[in-house]
Chains A and B, each alone.
Chain A
Amino acid sequence: MKLTTGQAAWVICGMLAACLGALIMERVPPPADNNPVPIPLPALAGAYSMTSPLFCQNENCMSEVEDASIAASSSCPECGGALAERTLPESRILPKGTFVSHAYYRRAGNSFSVAAVVAGSEPTSIHRPQQCLPAQGLTIVGRSTLTVGNTPDTGSLALTVLRARRDGRPGRGEMLYAYWFTDGTRETPYHIARLAMQAADRLAGKKPRKWAYVSVSVPVLSRDDPAEARLSEFVRALHGAMTGAIGAPASSQD
């Protein structure tokens, strides 16, 4: 059957009207209520014990306070500014409803910095470290994927590992920055894979799930430092502690 331009135009109008109806009927999905990671982070990860730092919210200071007695006073010992559980850039950037937890895990001279960000209802809650790290003055000089074996639940965990430098000078201030995404049941080292899984869930009309972004950073002490091996060993312990202790988020940090 041949269509005239006028008939085709009315067919298009019909399709546009149908699409409009579908979009008007589209409802915002209910908020997710799963806990992808425990907030606050577990007090112990294997033999590693945890301390939680606080961060000065004065943009001229932005100090980190780890001493519990100082932190209890809620003011920065450097400048007297207010202290909070998230850094100032996080306070500014992360959307409403996002949970953040920072921690240090230590054992016999080994120290790891851990951050977990649990997304709120908006897909932009979790940001890509490739953008965030340079914004914090770090230069990314390499990227790789590392598989940590023998994790208690899934058997292995894949991480994206970024090699970064704080001051851009070789051999000084270098660190490994590893991260992965999890919704409590699925894990991926790739931002794009997380987005694809979220999109597939939404398209299928499944109940939305919260995703978390877990990062672990460790300084590279020297050129011969087996930092990647130390990182693997710690992540195995942390992952086991987290999957064994998933509980309700402690408090909203809106």
Chain B
Amino acid sequence: MTGSASIPRVFLRALPLFVGGALLAVLFGFLGNAQEADRAGRSAVLWMVRRWSGGGGDLSHGWLIPLVSGYLVWRDRAKLASTPKRASGVGLILVAALLLLHWGGVRVQQTRLSLLSLAGLTWAIPLSLYGAGVARLLVFPCAYLLFCIPLSFLNEVSLPLRLVAGAMSVWTLNGLGIPAVRSGTAIFAQGPADTLSFDVADACSGLRSLLAMMALTAIYAHLTQRNAARKWTLFVASLPIAVVANVFRITAVAVVARLFGQESGLKLYHDYSGFLVFGAAVLMMAAAGDLIRRLGAKGPAQ
């Protein structure tokens, strides 16, 4: 009789999770977007997914983010299972605040606010149900979901980074003996027969977007660095890494143009510079991570 009695008990314990899951699916899968809702639909999730697919692939890393977050949770499944669990009132207050944010996002027609609320709820709900111990293990996987949100305004603040990348490129080219001048974001490198002109694209062109570089560095730092200070140091380093990678791209194209002619340089620029930047950025990121690890090892014990 114990077996048959336990079935309804299990069912009753699981019921609110099913109900809550269904309500969450409706709240964000069918509602949450008020921008051009007659054309784009009311789903906040579909609004986001459409942006991952569009915009020239600048946000295509969005598809990977939930998978990475899911993997991180799965990786810690044993720790999650063994952590003591206790419901939290603070978590419930946070859930209420995030739902208010979702409602506010719809009211002010800012779907990003609703998506911020969704990412927050993935952490606040486990905090409410299972307490701080479980929530602590979920901080990074849930925070990583923020990289799903299309933050296109970052492209707008990239102009100063482009100017810095342009200045550094001209300095490098002149150091290599290739006469170059900068005007705004444009660079003119003198070749044997003609002048090669570039426009310095967004700071991390070839890495698709600054956001993609930050997402890559965040997961790398999380998996390879031991403490929060080192993780943050490497994460913040993603910005200069993106700029330096772009300097590498510009310098490489100018050198190829100088050695093999403008056509070869531009072909490199159009066809392969993305791979060059990506490779350079990954190497720099790994080197920066190694440096931080070594410096940390020499410092006082953690």
Interface window among B92-100, B169-177, B210-218, B251-259: B92-100
64-110 of chain B: CB within 8 A of chain A: 85, 87-89, 91-92, 95-96, 99, 102-104, 106-110
Choose among B20, B39, B89, B91 the residue that contacts A16 (Cβ–Cβ < 8 A). Answer: B20
Name the 5 nearest CB pairs between A and B, nearest first: A141-B184, A9-B16, A170-B183, A16-B23, A8-B87
- Which residues does chain A contribute within 8 Å of B102, judged by CB atoms? 19, 23
B199 touches A23 (CB 8 A): no
A3 touches B183 (CB 8 A): no
The digit string for B11-48, where 1 denotes a CB below 8 A from any CB of A, is: 01100110110011011000110111101000000000
A96, B36: Cα distance in complex, Å: 10
Count A-B contacts at CB 8 Å: 128
Choose among B37, B125, B153, B199 the residue that contacts A139 (Cβ–Cβ < 8 A). Answer: B199
A142, B19: Cα distance in complex, Å: 54
Extra inter-chain contacts (17) besides given A3-B89, A13-B23, A23-B31, CB under 8 Å: A4-B87, A8-B87, A9-B20, A9-B129, A12-B95, A16-B20, A23-B27, A23-B106, A96-B39, A122-B36, A123-B110, A124-B35, A140-B184, A163-B184, A168-B183, A192-B153, A202-B107
A203, B105: Cα distance in complex, Å: 9
110-164 of chain B: CB within 8 A of chain A: 110, 125, 128-130, 153, 155-156, 159
A205, B73: Cα distance in complex, Å: 41
* 8 residue pairs from A and B, CB less than 8 Å apart: A6-B12, A11-B128, A13-B20, A23-B27, A23-B106, A26-B106, A169-B186, A203-B107
Interface of A is mostly: helix
A2, B26: Cα distance in complex, Å: 30
Interface of B is mostly: helix
- Which residues does chain B contribute within 8 Å of A2, judged by CB atoms? 87
A19, B95: Cα distance in complex, Å: 11
Asked if A107 CB lies within 8 Å of chain B CBs, one says: no
B156 touches A16 (CB 8 A): no
The number of chain A residues touching the other chain, given as a range, is 35 or more
Asked if B264 CB lies within 8 Å of chain A CBs, one says: no
Known: A8-B92, A12-B125, A23-B106. A130 touches B183 (CB 8 A): no
- Which residues does chain B contribute within 8 Å of A8, judged by CB atoms? 87-88, 91-92, 128-129
Choose among B23, B35, B108, B129 the residue that contacts A20 (Cβ–Cβ < 8 A). Answer: B23
A9 touches B17 (CB 8 A): yes
A165 touches B108 (CB 8 A): no
Number of residues of chain B lying within 8 A (CB) of chain A = 50
Asked if A199 CB lies within 8 Å of chain B CBs, one says: yes
Choose among A3, A5, A199 the residue that contacts B110 (Cβ–Cβ < 8 A). Answer: A199
Asked if B185 CB lies within 8 Å of chain A CBs, one says: yes
A131 touches B104 (CB 8 A): no
A15 touches B36 (CB 8 A): no
- Which residues does chain A contribute within 8 Å of B20, judged by CB atoms? 9, 12-13, 16
Known: A5-B85, A140-B159, A142-B184. A13 touches B106 (CB 8 A): no
A22, B17: Cα distance in complex, Å: 21
A140, B157: Cα distance in complex, Å: 12
Known: A5-B87, A20-B31, A28-B34. A123 touches B109 (CB 8 A): yes
Residue of A nearest to B187 (CB): A168
**In the assembled complex, how far is the CB of residue B21 from the closest CB belonging to chain A, in whole angstroms?**
10
B23 touches A17 (CB 8 A): yes
- Which residues does chain B contribute within 8 Å of A6, judged by CB atoms? 12-13, 16
- Which residues does chain A contribute within 8 Å of B31, judged by CB atoms? 20, 23-24
**In the assembled complex, how far is the CB of residue A133 from the closest CB belonging to chain B, in whole angstroms?**
11
A19 touches B186 (CB 8 A): no
